[in-house]
Chain A
């Protein structure tokens, strides 16, 4: 008699959990209480213990699936036992093997467990709802709703007819052509149709994918003195990116200062004598970028993209550098900045900034950044709150130089030159303390830039 592995209920308010990772695969022997999977609620991660000793017969969901609590997620028993009765979705659903109820193609492809199971049906692979009743499916088709996008209220989270009726209630009617363009996921319904009688038209469907159109408030603008500028080109891109950044990320900005006595002295000497050693003229920004790239190697969590359902940490640092151009803000990217010497990095930044200024930048060099540095120091700004270049999880703002009092080792007080840093992070991906540690390391690196450079040349 096979025994189901059940998605446990983690507290009363939790309706579903994410299956983060399978710790076993079909065919593995497990003993009772041994962890078989990691699951995650919106607050914490838990292990699911094996309910009995035996052989893992089948895993019903793939990693990443959001599964209602008390759903069977796998089965343990003796090899060869039939597990059909334990599969979620009830008797009407075709046997589910490796497919999750809401498989996303990428995830399905990555799933290791039970990938050898031949019983997976093609329709399931395409995301046909395991948990949608036939009546609900019919009603969904009629209403133009994607049933898989709904949270079902039936047994095991099954989407039943009343879920469709509830979802369709209050929605504007659709034209036949809009309906024929396929079902609309629950969250993507246009709030209002622009067609006859408020119908949702095919163009509303297209528009719903974009940001809602700004309704003309032209009537409220003061007349005559206003200069009207069309929002297009770079301005339009910046507007969309910035709004998207602030609406999809949880931004937190940390501030710190670095004593740049050493850095300034180093620059002064490099300027005076560097030529003799073939050492180029470098800017403060070049040095900060260099230090930031090296610090990022120690803090990969900040050299990352947050993609909603997963975080990608990058080994290489592709450094974006914000450039103020007559056409607006541009952020060219220096690929593999972590493999460049200070001289190379400095040259790469200058070359890209010049290309942006002249408008000749290769568009390929404007994408693919993993971390961005933006500098307003030359414009008299101390601290600011840089806006993340999403999906990047961090951006470093460099402010101006100012004199700050400091206590010397001998107890005397002196004014030292300091540089202001503002680090914005996406708190969805990075917490405050790790970000502060990165900033601390960056400050240390800037304050001891000579040692950092020496250490770097040693590596090379």
Chain B
């Protein structure tokens, strides 16, 4: 009998296991494949490793504006892949170490619910006071003719390509599509992104998305927005845009049209767990409709972000160990790890309008920021804050430019603390940093 069984060792599951173990719970962590889940093995970490290699290559080739002239620069895809594998291995070992340190038992195998508080793995049943489902998600496979042809890959497949593509067609200009487009575009691969919506990354602020698209377009990336893919053929992708059918030559095709929760094969129906194709239904304590059964992360379809999954796991463990906690969804940062990066947290201008909140928008161009200008020749960026018009409370922060992902946590903290304009004004920012753009934006109010 365990205190807690966790199904899935991704950033939701292993963090929950670590926290629970640290509080003295007897934890069983069950993983079908590798510790770290999609995030570590075929998502966040490998893609960021390759993106960084691509970024280094890009600046090596485009260093003339900074006075750096390099010749004979080449890119070794195999070496980049090897480094990626090394990073992943190090992190997996790190997780294994954390599990050991916190006395978490790790079991490899496919788990199936045997009641709300029990799971079966390889015919053996394990029971616990509580069970957390953290089974993650998988790339969606849209019904596009030709999707099964050779050379058509998803976000997992593209990470393990044996060679650089001659050209890349990306179907779906969301976060994942844009990140890979940026990676390969920066490496000199001609990239075409086909997005059905009128703008790329529809979940981010429209003005930032426009800026991102303009910046990415400088890196061998052609965008077709408001375009619908009709068919993938052995040597081309056909799509329709503005009533016209067009065709582009293809080598590798990346299908990145979103993700679907892993809810099949878990015995959810038999255990009478409420779920649908969008995920397992949970409340703000991540509790399902079955007592003692919780679900966190992508399998709930709530946010598709590793850090959300981790936090959801922590909420469950907190409640299980006597610390009242619930999810707050209003200050979860989201990042697009392109170059430039896009980072945002809280309400966008559109969200605020939809809720009828009186807001004031303040902006600061990063080209007016000392650090950004010093380090980004010919690049653009923008910081945009959404403030409550009456109370001055910070409701949202949205930045595009440079490595802005590293500063967004500060805005999340300020939103969580309900900081107001006058509080922001009293906080000291280091100079020179790109983060000062936030402060400068606030002072445009005066």
Q: Is A220 an interface residue (CB 8 A)?
A: yes
A72 CB–B CB distance under 8 Å: no
Q: Which of A42-50, A61-69, A191-199, A276-284 has 4 or more CB atoms under 8 Å from chain B?
A: A191-199
Contact yes or no, B272 A201, CB < 8 A: no
A199 to B419, CA, bound (A): 13
B228-256 interface with A by 8 A CB criterion: none
Q: Is the CB of B326 within 8 A of A223?
A: no
Q: Is B109 an interface residue (CB 8 A)?
A: no
In the complex, the chain B residue whose C-beta lies closest to that of A179 is B418
Interface string of B405-431 (1 = CB under 8 A from A): 000000001001111100100000000
Contacting A at CB under 8 A, from B270-295, are 272, 274, 283-284, 287-293
Contacts of A202 in B (CB 8 A): 391, 393, 418
A460 at the interface (CB under 8 A from B): no
B328: interface (CB < 8 Å): yes
Interface string of A215-226 (1 = CB under 8 A from B): 010111101100
CA distance in complex: A404, B284 (Å):
58
Residue of A nearest to B283 (CB): A216
In the bound assembly, the distance between CA atoms of A196 and B393 in angstroms comes to 15
- Total interface residues on A, using CB and 8 Å? 21
In chain B, residues 352-403, which have Cβ atoms closer than 8 Å to a Cβ of chain A? 391-393
CB distance from B419 to the nearest CB of A (A): 7
* CB-based contact B283/A201 at 8 Å: no
Give how many A-B residue pairs fall within 8 Å (CB-CB): 57
- Taking CB atoms, residues of chain A closer than 8 Å to B324 are 192, 198
Contact status of A177 and B393, CB under 8 A, knowing A216-B283, A218-B283, A224-B272: yes
User: Are B288 and A180 in contact, with the CB atoms below 8 A?
Assistant: no
Q: Does A176 contact B (CB under 8 A)?
A: yes
Query: What separation, in Å, do the CA atoms of A199 and B415 have in the docked complex?
Result: 12
CB <8 Å contact, A196 and B416: yes
Residues of A close to B288: CB separation below 8 A: 219
Chain A residues with CB under 8 Å of B423's CB are 176
**B418 and A178 contact, CB distance less than 8 A:** yes
In the assembled complex, which residues on chain A have CB atoms less than 8 Å from the CB atom of B326? 194
B291 engages A175 (CB within 8 Å): no
Q: Contacts A194-B326, A195-B328, A202-B393: A180 and B420 contacting too (C-beta < 8 A)? A: yes
Q: Which residues of B contact A220 (CB under 8 A)?
A: 291
Cross-chain contact B419 with A176 (CB below 8 angstroms): yes
- Complex: how many Å from CA A175 to CA B423? 11
Q: Which residue of A lies closest to B393 (CB)?
A: A177
Distance, CA A458 to CA B283, complexed state (A): 67
Q: Closest approach, in angstroms, between the C-beta of A207 and any C-beta of chain B?
A: 13
A176–B283 contact, CB under 8 A? no
- CB contact under 8 A between A176 and B272, given known A181-B391, A194-B328, A219-B287: no
Q: A218's closest neighbor in chain B, by CB? A: B289
A220, B287: Cα distance in complex, Å: 11
Q: Tell me if A221 and B418 are in contact (CB < 8 A).
A: no
Contact across chains for A195 and B291 when beta carbons are under 8 A apart: no
Chain A, 155-198, CB within 8 A of any chain B CB: 175-178, 180-181, 192, 194-196, 198
A198 to B413, CA, bound (A): 14
CA distance A176 to B425 in the complex (A): 14
Chain A: CB-nearest residue to B415? A196
When chains A and B are docked, how far (Å) is the Cα of A195 from the Cα of B415? Answer: 10
Q: Which residues on A sit within 8 Å (CB–CB) of B391?
A: 177, 180-181, 202
B417 to chain A, nearest CB (A): 5
Closest B residue to A202 using CB positions: B418
A218: contacting residue among B287, B292, B417, CB under 8 A: B287
Shortest 3 CB-CB contacts between residues of A and residues of B: A223-B272, A175-B418, A177-B418
Q: Which residues of B does A touch, CB under 8 Å?
A: 272, 274, 283-284, 287-293, 324, 326, 328, 391-393, 413, 416-420, 423
- Cross-chain pairs A/B with CB under 8 angstroms, 9 sampled: A177-B393, A177-B418, A195-B417, A196-B328, A196-B416, A201-B418, A202-B418, A220-B291, A223-B274
Give 5 A-B pairs besides A181-B391, A220-B291 with Cβ atoms closer than 8 angstroms: A180-B420, A216-B283, A219-B289, A219-B291, A223-B274
